[in-house]
Chains A and B, each alone.
Chain A
Amino acid sequence: MLETSSSHQAPPADWHRDDREPAVRQADDLAWEAGAPASSDLESLRRELEKAVTRICPTWLSAQSDDLVQMSLMRVVEQIRNCDEHRSFNASYLRRTAYCALVDEIRRVRSRREWSTTDESGGDHPLEGHGPDPEQRLIARQIGSHIRACLTGLITPRRVAVALKLQGESAPEAARLLGWSLRKTENLIYRGLADLRKCLSQKGLSKERGAL
């Protein structure tokens, strides 16, 4: 038998004051003092999450992006409520907590999703995607798989530097995160990309072949 728990609690009588002027500001101040984020912080966090999810999530997940954002926000609030300590939560903490909740949700949705085609690694699924042309989708997926295979063959420093480059990071940012000098990082990216292109050529992937 499953454990059952339930709790019902009426909200404070004045929680809903919506006259945005001094009342809300005062409520937000009180919330901060009580360790809760201000409603304006949550709203701003929601906007940030929505923007990031919209830009990042693939098409199939975008249909659920509102749910993902809302659920991650609810988890933020739950976590704050469950925190015993009397402390304040700054915007940076809220962003991190929301990010963790969002990634958890994305992992949960992705792991539950059933695919019509699976590859041998149990990881990615090369035959599905979005785009106008199924053949182009298939080619793009295959190229991605080849890129990954080629990256795996690179020596570790080059692999890491090129991976960040392919993730859209700038060389200075990559250098900062990886703890290398800018010169070294640029060199690793340059040589790593050259290795990657050479490897792809050996696999028959080049512009002439129409694959890239």
Chain B
Amino acid sequence: MTHPTSDQLQQAFTQLSERARPRDDCPEPDQLWRARTGQLSPRATRRIVKHTVECGVCAESWRLAAELEAGRERPMGRVIPFPVPLWTVAAAVLLLGILVPIFGPHLWRPVTSIDRGEDLERIESELAAQEGLSRADFHLRWNLEPAQKNLIRYELHVTTEDLFHVLVHETDLVEPEFKVPENLLGSLPEGAAVTWRVTAVFEDGSRTSRVFVTRVQ
């Protein structure tokens, strides 16, 4: 009997995360980060790893931490010198020229099913894409799709592009719109990007957010 390879097992294990939900006993994200970066005791780390066996969301978060750490460690744009004889390049190109017309159609199969999570409620901007707004009429408008009866309010957080200067912070908006006072935009130059985050708050205390960027005309 042929046994599965480690890669096959790894792939199947990873797929478990795709439809996972968080559990009540999930460790704090900070604990996951500290475990993956070696800042926790081995004992505490082992406890967290045991949890990731049973929790697909935390398993995914572990891999996310590993990716971020790997990104930090990987030097960007590093070129490794590797002398390649010219004839090998020519041979590879020739081989590709022969194989691609024969096997090409079988090599690239279109992905037939992509789930983009359309069933989740989503906040959409009512402003046209790339539409800028004049500072005299910086009227932000949005919509919740599909409409939710249990929506109780919106929160709006408007900042400059660097996210550091808060222009507006409203926490009890009933209507899906807000006009930013002109005096708050006075110092922004033409074309400056304004970042605005809308959060819809529901009766059960849950929330959903979306971030948009609009330029000052």
Contact = CB atoms under 8 A, between A and B. Distances in A.
Interface residues of B, number: 99
B71 interface: yes
Interface in B10-31: 10-23, 26, 28-30
B211 to A, nearest CB: 4
A15 B162 contact: yes
Contacts of A145: 16
Chain B's interface: helix, strand, loop or mixed, by majority? mixed
Contacts of A13: 187
Contacts of B30: 96, 100
Chain A's interface: helix, strand, loop or mixed, by majority? helix
B49 A164 contact: yes
Contact of B63 (A56, A95, A176): A56
A8 B167 contact: yes
A132 B111 contact: yes
B166 A9 contact: yes
Interface of B: 1-4, 6, 8-23, 26, 28-30, 32-33, 35-38, 41-43, 45-46, 49-50, 52-57, 59-68, 71-72, 109, 111-117, 119-121, 152-153, 157, 159-160, 162-172, 181, 183-184, 186-189, 192, 195, 197, 206-211
Given A132-B113, A167-B13, A167-B63, 19 more contacts: A6-B172, A10-B187, A11-B188, A16-B187, A56-B63, A70-B211, A74-B163, A81-B164, A95-B68, A107-B57, A124-B17, A129-B15, A141-B15, A147-B9, A148-B54, A168-B66, A176-B38, A197-B3, A212-B4
